[in-house]
Amino acid sequence: MKKLFTLIFAFFVMTPTMAAKMPMPADAPKSYESECASCHMAYPPGLLNEKSWQNVMNGLNKHFGTDASLDAKDQKEISAWLQKNAATKKKYDVLAPDNRITKTPWFIREHDEIKVDVWKRAGVKSPANCGACHTTAAEGVFSEKSISIPAK
Ligand code: HEC
Ligand code: HEC
């Protein structure tokens, strides 16, 4: 009986932490790491829905104030892979305003307790810099256990 309680307890404790995982698929093309992770982290594809990735990839020549254009081969490969692995869970399957993960309703809701000055700390720089606080962001794990907000 005690074992059963432990099991039920473990289930309820672990469920919330299991919710925020968008694991980096094992079949990421090499070009994704080399072309899309030089200016920021390689965002796990599960953070945006299919249409949003399509929009990101169709606007690379005007990409958040920079030119991130690719040659035709990389463009096709990365685009197809991102869309194949895009968000499917209802919560994350939304059209991202301005093609930003950081402007989706779920992102804003999950981060509404963070004060404005925290986003501006030197150790954070931008909400798009997931890895500043989520120590396992590169693996697509965003659970509370792996959050550490830089003090400055
Ligand atoms: C030349 C630099 C550069 C390259 C290369 C680049 N990006 Fe970006 N990207 C940026 C900048 C700058 C931002 C805005 C970051 C910020 O607001 O802090 C950004 C933001 C983003 C965002 C939105 C982040 C948010 O706010 O939610 C996505 C998604 C994204 N990039 C995807 C990609 C993909 C996919 C590639 C590869 C095809 C790529 N980027 C390559 C510079 C780059
Ligand atoms: C300034 C630090 C910081 C940055 C930068 C940041 N986050 Fe967070 N994130 C948090 C905090 C704090 C929470 C809230 C944890 C809680 O209390 O539930 C959170 C929650 C989340 C959750 C929900 C976690 C859960 O267990 O339900 C997700 C998913 C998430 N963040 C993704 C991202 C992504 C993707 C980025 C980058 C585009 C990002 N975060 C950038 C601090 C940050």
**Does residue 4 form part of some domain?**
no
Q: What is the pLDDT of residue 5?
A: 56
Q: What is the pLDDT of residue 4?
A: 60
Q: What is the pLDDT of residue 11?
A: 53
Question: What's the CA gap between 129 and 146, in Å, rounded?
Answer: 15
**Does residue 16 form part of some domain?**
no
Cβ of residue 134 lying under 6 Å from some atom of ligand 2: yes
Closest to 48 (Cα-Cα) out of 1, 85, 11, 10: 85
**Does residue 11 form part of some domain?**
no
Q: Consecutive sets of 10 residues in the chain, 152 residues long: mean pLDDT of each?
A: 58 54 94 97 97 98 98 98 96 97 98 96 98 96 95 95
Closest to 123 (Cα-Cα) out of 141, 135, 111: 135
Determine the residue type at 27: D
Cβ of residue 87 lying under 6 Å from some atom of ligand 2: no
- Which range marks the domain in which residue 111 is found? 24-146
Q: Which of 41, 63, 70, 120 should be mutated for ligand 1, with most atoms under 8 A from CB?
A: 63
Radius of gyration of the chain (CA): 17
Count of domains observed in the chain:
1
Q: What is the pLDDT of residue 65?
A: 97
**Does residue 76 form part of some domain?**
yes
Q: What is the pLDDT of residue 21?
A: 86
Q: What is the pLDDT of residue 8?
A: 55
**Does residue 152 form part of some domain?**
no
**Does residue 19 form part of some domain?**
no
pTM of the complete model: 0.91
Q: What is the pLDDT of residue 3?
A: 64
